[in-house]
Structure 1
Amino acid sequence: MAEQSSHIAVPVAGVTMALLAALGPTAAGAAPPPAGTTGIIGPGATAASRFVPGPCPEPPEPIEALATARCGVLEVPENRDRPDGRTIRLAVAVIPSVSAEPAPDPVVFMAGGPGGEVFDDIPFLVSSGLNKDRDLVVMAQRGNLYDQPNLACPELDHFYARSVGLPSYAPQTEGLMADAVKRCRDRLTADGTDLGAYNSTENAADFADLRTALGFKQWNVYGHSYGSNLALTYLRLHPQGIRAVALDSAAPAQFVSLPFAWANAREGLDNLFKACEAEPRCKSRYPDLERTLNEQVRKLEAKPLTLNVRPPQGGDPVKVVLDGGALVNLLVAKAIPFADFPAAIDELARGNPERLAKARAAGSVEVDGQTAHGLTQSVVCGEWVPGHSTSDVLKAGREAFPAWPESAQAQAPQLPFQDELCRIWNVPDRTAAVRVPTVSSVPVLFINGTFDMKTGASWAPKTARTLSNSTTVQVPGIGHWVVPQSPCAQKVLASFLADPTAPDTGCVAGLRWEPFTITPE
C-alpha cells in the first residue's frame, strides 16, 4: 500500500478558503459553502465530496512540473450508493499554465489503463503543450498509486515479470495468473475494499465532484485509451461544466468488449501492411509481409523458442519463451517500434529472433505498484467481459486472423484468461450502465493513429454518430496515445482547445509514417 498522507482534514470552510487562496484568480469567483456544511456542495457534487489541499506526491523520478503545482486529495465516498460507508482519497495536482494570462477553463486529463499511473504522464502532457494556455488538472483515478486505498497488486506484477519465461496460453500459465489474481483479491477485500465500487460510473462522478470542489465553472476534458472511455461516460452522466472533450485513441464505452480487441489488432496491422506496400523499398525488401507474419505465428505456436536474453534495461540474461501468443502480444503492445516491425518479422523468419526476444525480455523487470490492477480487473470484469463467451472471443479471433492457429485466436490480445479471472474477481455486471452511446452537442475531437492495434481508428466515426458537434482526425503511422508522439496532433489539440467549434486540422493532410527500417538481405 502507498504511504498514507499525514495531512489532517480541517473544517470545510477552512478548506474552501485555503483552496481559493491556493488556486488564485481562476477560482476566485467560487463562493464558500454555508458554515456548518459537511462538504463542498454544488451541481454534480455529493455532500461527502471535498478537496483537501496537501503536499504533492513524490515519484521516484522527480517531476519538474510538480514543483509549482497545487496539490491535495479529493475525498469521496467509495460507493455512492452507500453514502455512510467508507471515504477514499484521490491524489490531485493542478499544474499552472505557463501563460501569464491563462484561459479560465483548465484541461482535466483522464489517464488510460484502466489503472494507469497518471502522475508519470505529466511530463508527456506538459511537453505536448497541455498547460501552455490554461491550467492542467490531473487526478489519480480511484485505487491508483498515491490514492488511499491503493489497489496495486504486487502479486500480479510478480506474475507478469515471471511470465516472459512461460508459454503464453498454457494451463500452467493460466493457473499462476489465476492464483495471483485470487491472492490480490483476498488481500484487498480483507482490508474492506468494495471492489464493485471501482468502476467507470464512480470514476466519472469523482471527476464531476472534482470540478465543483475546485471551483471551476467549466473545463475541458482530455482522455486517452480507457480515459476516453471514461470521458464519454462522464460527458453522458455529468455534462454540466464541460466546455469541450478531446478523445485520444478512443475506446468508446458502448463498443468495448473482449472481441473488440481482435478487430482493433486487425485494423492496425492492416494499415501497417498497406503502408509497407506503399513504400517501394519496404515492399521490395519484405514482400508479402502478412504471409510471413502468419507463418511465424503458426510456427512459433507449434514449436516455441526458449532463449536466454539480456533485457534492454540491462542486467543478467533471463529465460524467454517466444511463441505465437507472445509474438501477437508484442506487436499489439508496440514492444518494438513500428518502423522496425517488417525487419523484426523478416529476421525471425530467417532464424534470428533476437530483436523480438529482447522486447519480450523487457517485461521481466518488475515494477511494483505502477498499475492499479485492482481497478483494471474491476472495470474489465464488470464492464468489458460480461455478455461475451469464450467462444465469442475465439470467433472474433478466427474472423480477424483466419490463418492463425486456434490456440492463438482463443485469447484476446493483452487480456488472456479473462473468463476464469473474472469468476475469481467476482464483481457485478455493469454493462447495462456503461455500454450506452453518449449523445451530446458538446464539441468533441477524436484523434487516432492509423497503426494503433489497441483502439482502431475506425471506431471514432462510429462513435461520432451521436455526437453532433464532433471532428475526427487520423494521424498516419502513429500507434496508441497519439498526441505525445505527433507535433501535428499537438497543434490540432491546441487549436481545438482555443476554438472547439473550428479546430485547425490542416497539418494532417501532409503527414506520412516514419520510413521502415531496411536491413541487408
Structure 2
Amino acid sequence: MAERSFHIGAPVAGAALALLAALGATPAGAAPPHTDTTDISGPGTAAASRFVPGPCPRTPEPIEALATARCGVLEVPENRARPGGRTIRLAVAVIPPVSAKPAQDPVVFMSGGPGGETFDDIPFLVSSGLNRDRELIVMAQRGNLYDKPNLACPELDRFYARSVGLPSYAPQTERPMLDAVKQCRDRLTADGTDLSAYNSTENAADFADLRTALRIKQWNVYGHSYGSNLALTYLRLHPQGIRAVALDSAAPAPYVSLPFAWGSAREGLDNLYKACASDPRCKSRYPDLERTLNEQVRKLEAQPLTLNVRPPRGGDPVKVVLDGGALVELLVAKAIPFKDVPAAIDELGRGRPERFARARAAGSEQVAGQTAHGLTQSVVCSEWLPDHSPSDVLKAGREAFPEWPESVQAQAPQLAFQDQMCRIWNVPDRTATQRVATESAVPTLFINGTFDMKTGPSWARKAARTLSHSTTVEVPGIGHWVVPQSPCAQKVLASFLTRPTAPDTGCVAGLRWEPFTITPK
C-alpha cells in the first residue's frame, strides 16, 4: 500500500484562529517559525499529551506549502497502557487555506502504509484542493520519518533495492530479507522502542489528542489506504469532534488480512480485463489478455528471465530477475500505468519483456530510510496477520487465480514472507480489538478506483453497511489513492466537505478510463 499511489496563504478565520493561538503562530504573511529552538532531540518521560510549536521539517525536496505552514510536535505517551513510560514526538504541520473566507472546520489527513512518509504526501494533498476552503492539518503517524523515534529500517530498504536481481519468492531471497528484519528489530528495541505500542489504537488516540491540543472543536477526517483503516478506528474509538469522514481506497479493519489481498488483486484485474473487452480497439488488439498473463506467470515462474536493465532515472544497468511473482507484484503495485498494461502483457507474450523489466529495475532506485517499516511491521503483525495461516493465503490464491503456480499463490501480493517476518517481529495479537466494524451516523464518503488491485471497491461497499449516512463512489479506471489522480474525485470530496449529508457525485456518471495503449502487431 506504499504506491504514491500502493503506494498531491490567506488569513484564517473563525475556529481556526484558536489553532493559531494554540500553535503560537505568526500572522498570515509573516515569516514561518523556522527559528524556534524547541528541543525535539529524542523521547523523554511520559506526561500528558501536549503540542509544542517548532520548525517545520527540513525535507530533502522543498515542499512549498511548508513555507507558510505552522509546525511543531505533538508529545504523547509511547504506550498509554504503561503510565510513567517514555514520551514520543510526532511532527505536525498546519497548512493555511487558500480562501480568504475559509470554513471553520479544518481537515486532518491520515496517510497510507502503514508507515508511508506523510509529509511527502503534502504536495498531492494541496494540488488536490484539500486546503482550498479550510486548513489542512498533517501529522506524521508514530514512527514516521520526522518523528522521535523514527522507525525506519534502512536495512530492509537496502535489501529491497537489491531484491530486483533475485527470484521473488525463493529461499535465497527470503533469507536476506529476514536477516534485514531481525537487524532492524534488534536495533530499534536496543534503543528502548516498545514495538507493541505502534498500532492503530495508539495511532487513533494520537489524533484525538491532537484535536484537543490544538483546541479544535470540530474537524473533518480524510484518510487513504491504511489511513482509511485508521480513520475508521478513530471514528469508532474517539467520535467526539468529528464532523465528516472521507475514505479513499478504503481498507476497513474487519477485512484487512493477508488472504484478502488476493481478493483485491482479482477484483482490480477483472475490472481491467472487462474495460479492455468493452473497448472495441482494445478487445480487437488484445483478445486473449487474461490467457496471455496466466501463461506468462506460469512460464516465468518455471523459467525466470535475467536481464540487465537501465533504471528509469539513468545510471548503470542493474540485474533484474523477471519471474511469475515479479509480474504479480508489479501489477498490484501499479508499477506500469494501467493504460499500458494490456500492451505490456501482449509484448511479454511475444518475447518482449522490456516494460515489465524497466518497472522492476525502478525498485533499485528507492531511497533508504523514507518508510517507517517499524510501524508497518507492528501493525501488520498484530492486526492483519494473526488468525490466518499460510495455508489460508494459499487457499485464497488458488481461489483467485487457479491457473497460477502454487509458489505464486502461496504469497500474498506485496506481503511476501510476512508470516516468517512476524515471527521475528514478535508483537502481541491485537485482532480482537482491531477487527471490529465501525458503526456510526457521522457522514462518511468512500471513494475507490475500479482498477485498484490493493484495496478492492467491494471492501468499501461492505464497510458502508454499518455507516448509516455513507456515500460510496467508484471512479472508473483509477487505481490506489483516487483523489490525487481524478479531478472528478476532487470535486466529489470538496462537495462532501461542504455538504457531508448531500455530496454532489454527478461527475462520476460520465467517466471512463484513460484509453488503452494500442501497439502495432
Shorter-normalised TM range: over 0.9
Q: C-alpha distance in 1, partners of 2:26/2:232?
A: 27
Deviations 1:60-80 (A, max 9, x none): 100000000000000000000
Change (3 A) 1:23 1:208: farther
Amino acid at match of 1:512: R
* Partner SS state of residue 98, structure 1: coil
Give how far 1:24 is off: 7.1
Aligned alpha-carbon RMSD (Å): 1.4
The question of whether the paired residues in 1 share the 8 Å contact of 2:22 and 2:215 is answered with no
Q: C-alpha distance in 2, partners of 1:199/1:394?
A: 27
Establish whether residue 421 from structure 1 lines up as the match of residue 424 from structure 2.
no
Match of 2:495 in 1: 495
* Partner SS state of residue 160, structure 2: helix
The question of whether the paired residues in 1 share the 8 Å contact of 2:71 and 2:92 is answered with yes
Give how far 1:208 is off: 0.3
* Partner SS state of residue 250, structure 1: coil
Give how far 1:83 is off: 2.2
Give how far 1:313 is off: 1.1
Give how far 1:48 is off: 1.1
* Partner SS state of residue 220, structure 2: strand
Give how far 1:23 is off: 7.8
The question of whether the paired residues in 1 share the 8 Å contact of 2:47 and 2:77 is answered with no
Q: C-alpha distance in 2, partners of 1:83/1:265?
A: 43
Q: C-alpha distance in 2, partners of 1:227/1:120?
A: 15
Match of 2:11 in 1: none
Normalized against structure 1, the TM-score is what? 0.92
Give how far 1:219 is off: 0.2
Q: C-alpha distance in 1, partners of 2:260/2:352?
A: 32
Q: C-alpha distance in 1, partners of 2:469/2:395?
A: 36
* Partner SS state of residue 479, structure 1: coil
Q: C-alpha distance in 2, partners of 1:235/1:404?
A: 40
Match of 2:458 in 1: 458
Match of 2:38 in 1: none
Q: C-alpha distance in 1, partners of 2:126/2:193?
A: 34
Establish whether residue 153 from structure 1 lines up as the match of residue 156 from structure 2.
no
Give how far 1:467 is off: 0.2
Give how far 1:366 is off: 3.5
Match of 1:288 in 2: 288
Give how far 1:22 is off: 1.9
Establish whether residue 379 from structure 1 lines up as the match of residue 379 from structure 2.
yes
Deviations 1:359-382 (A, max 9, x none): 000000131111000000000000
Match of 2:138 in 1: 138
Query: What fraction of aligned residue pairs are identical, expressed as a percent?
Result: 85
Aligned ranges 1:332-371 → 2 under 5 Å? 332-371=332-371
Match of 2:51 in 1: 51
Deviations 1:183-217 (A, max 9, x none): 00000000000000000000000000000101100
Aligned pair count reads 487
* Partner SS state of residue 381, structure 1: helix
Give how far 1:418 is off: 0.8
Match of 2:268 in 1: 268
Match of 1:65 in 2: 65
Q: C-alpha distance in 2, partners of 1:518/1:173?
A: 36
Q: C-alpha distance in 1, partners of 2:419/2:258?
A: 10
Give how far 1:459 is off: 1.0
Establish whether residue 330 from structure 1 lines up as the match of residue 336 from structure 2.
no
The question of whether the paired residues in 2 share the 8 Å contact of 1:156 and 1:181 is answered with yes
Deviations 1:156-194 (A, max 9, x none): 000000000000000111111000000000000000000
Give how far 1:17 is off: 9.2
Deviations 1:405-462 (A, max 9, x none): 0001000000000111000000000001100000000000000000000000111111
Aligned ranges 1:168-179 → 2 under 5 Å? 168-179=168-179
Match of 1:22 in 2: 25
Q: C-alpha distance in 2, partners of 1:148/1:234?
A: 22
* Partner SS state of residue 158, structure 1: helix
Q: Which runs of 4+ in 1 moved over 6 A?
A: none
Q: C-alpha distance in 2, partners of 1:73/1:370?
A: 19
Match of 2:436 in 1: 436
Change (3 A) 1:280 1:17: closer
Amino acid at match of 1:22: A
Amino acid at match of 1:126: V
Q: C-alpha distance in 2, partners of 1:489/1:418?
A: 33
Q: C-alpha distance in 2, partners of 1:362/1:211?
A: 39
Q: C-alpha distance in 1, partners of 2:23/2:74?
A: 15
Q: C-alpha distance in 1, partners of 2:115/2:379?
A: 9
Q: C-alpha distance in 2, partners of 1:18/1:268?
A: 46
The question of whether the paired residues in 2 share the 8 Å contact of 1:18 and 1:53 is answered with no
* Partner SS state of residue 315, structure 2: coil
Q: C-alpha distance in 1, partners of 2:460/2:326?
A: 28
Amino acid at match of 2:285: R
Residue segments in structure 1 that go unaligned for 5+ positions in a row? 1-14, 26-45
Give how far 1:47 is off: 6.2
